[in-house]
Amino acid sequence: QKINRHPLVYFDNAATTQKPRPVLEAIQRYYEHDNANVHRGIHELSNRATAAYEGARERVAQFINAPSTKDIIFTRGTTEAINLVAATWGAANLREGDVILLTELEHHSNLVPWQLLAQRTGAALRFIPVTGDEGTLDLSDLDALFRDVKLLSITHISNALGTINPVAELCAKARAVGAVTLVDAAQSAGHLPLDVQAIGCDFLSFSGHKLCGPTGIGALYARTALQEAMPPYQGGGEMIATVTFQSSEYHVPPHKFEAGTPNIAGAVGLHAALDYLDDLGRENIHAHDTELASYAKDRLAEFDGIRIFGPAGDRGGLVSFVFENVHALDLATMADQQGVAIRIGHHCTQPLHDKLGVPATARASFYFYNTRAEVDRFIEVLQKGMKLLS
Ligand code: C6P
């Protein structure tokens, strides 16, 4: 479509991706033919809805190579998944003197839930530092970083800088000190092949809407052995086995963590999205995204007075930058007037931006449907804008 009379260039994919037609059609088909509540009825539509919902769970397990379908809990997205872990596993297992190890790259969704938990339990937060504008992790003193750590919770790909973290290596180190691990895969699940067994994590979270699926659905991978010992997250229907006026026995995992009518249509859409991505091939998506990000970075480097963030080598499909003389807000507004959608701000990583000494960055983030020609158009728009604004 045209935005402000210019063909749309959508470079805000780290915030949310566009949705392919098969995803929209799957949701429409479900509502037109199979709509009913799950796990309850013995009628045909309820059976179909249950099969679709549980089929989506199986598909998610396969997508991330989880050992069992039981390891998959549906959530509203990454944020809810992390909050679930903090409120259940965290509240039951952490106490004063324990350390929660994060990185300085974390999205607020992988920071604020742990701050809340730390306030409640007396546990302390520690951060793996990043090295300047490159935004890679400083892992020079792992032993000191991991002292007294009970939980490691880290992002796979930074939404602010594009850094790809060595999650398998860090999870191995955490395991060696007996710590539990969570990987925030919000920016990686739709962009590269993901294997929870190869990573060796206990928990992993992602959002459907960042990988071509609908909003309001996401998943938490949680090793079944850990789920067994975790208290429920929310109470209500679906998550119970028997209820008396005074107390309840809970359903088996993962249903114990899915109170109330779930987002069935969302799960159906997510299933279609995962099929769509695997048809394209996640290796191909990763190669395309990183190539585009590196091309955009090179083209941006043509500007004077620009500061570009993120690692020099392999990076996720995004590039963040600031200009010395032009405010990011003016830049994004001007880009929008020319049909180019980018995001500016701290991208929910305010402490990281404080450390970098900038209140906001501009971020262009790519997906498989973006092209080099769109990057060229973006650069052209910036060139025009810089002449006007500086
Ligand atoms: N980042 C961005 O523009 P939700 O909102 O729950 O789907 O995802 C939260 C989240 C968690 N971790 C990372 C690494 C993320 O990038 C995000 C969402 C968006 O960068 C919105 S702020």
Query: pLDDT for 132-175, tens place per residue?
Result: 999 999 999 999 999 999 999 999 999 999 999 999 999 999 99
User: Of the candidates 158, 52, 50, which has an alpha carbon nearest to the alpha carbon of residue 110?
Assistant: 158
Q: What per-residue confidence (pLDDT) applies to 389?
A: 82
Marked catalytic residue, from 171, 201, 212, 348 = 348
pLDDT for 169 equals 98
Quote the tokens at residue 80.
């809810």
* pLDDT over 80 (residue 41): no
Distance (Å, whole) CA 125 – CA 114 = 8
Q: Which residues line ligand 1 (CB under 6 A)?
A: 14-15, 77-79, 107, 109-110, 155, 159, 184, 186-187, 207, 343, 347-348
Q: Determine the distance separating the centroid of ligand 1 and the alpha carbon of 81, expressed in angstroms.
A: 12
Distance from chain centroid for Cα 327: 28
- 348 as an active site residue: the answer is yes
Question: HSE (CB half, 13 Å, CA atoms) of 270?
Answer: 33
How much of the chain exceeds pLDDT 70, in percent? Answer: 100
Query: CA 23, CA 235: separation in Å to the nearest integer?
Result: 31
Convert the pLDDT of each residue in 214-271 to its tens digit.
Answer: 999 999 999 999 999 999 999 999 999 999 999 999 999 999 999 999 999 999 999 9
Residue 276 CA to residue 23 CA, distance in Å, equals 8
Q: What is the pTM of this model?
A: 0.98
Q: How confident is the model at residue 390 (pLDDT cuts 50, 70, 90)?
A: confident
For ligand 1, the distance from its centroid to the CA atom of residue 240, given in whole angstroms, is 31
Nearest-CA neighbor of 264 among 83, 2, 54, 73?
54
Residue 291 has pLDDT above 90, yes or no: yes
Task: Give the Cα separation of 124 and 85 in Å (integer).
Answer: 17
Would you say residue 14 has pLDDT above 80? yes
pLDDT in tens, 63-74: 999 999 999 999
Q: How far is the CA of 41 from the centre of ligand 1 (A)?
A: 36
pLDDT score at 31: 98
Pocket test for ligand 1, best of 76, 159, 346 (most atoms within 8 A of CB): 159
Per the CB < 8 A criterion, the answer to whether 189 and 208 are in contact is: no
Q: For the segment 244-255, what is each residue's pLDDT rounded down to a tens digit? A: 999 999 999 999
Task: Name the average pLDDT for the chain.
Answer: 97
Cα–Cα distance, 81 to 83 (Å, whole number): 5
Single-letter amino acid, residue 297: K
User: What are the Cα distances from residue 162, in Å, to 118, 133, 355?
Assistant: 28, 11, 16
Q: Of ligand 1's atoms, which has the minimum distance to the CA of residue 348?
A: 22
Distance (Å) from CA 15 to ligand 1 centroid: 6
Question: Which pLDDT belongs to residue 223?
Answer: 97
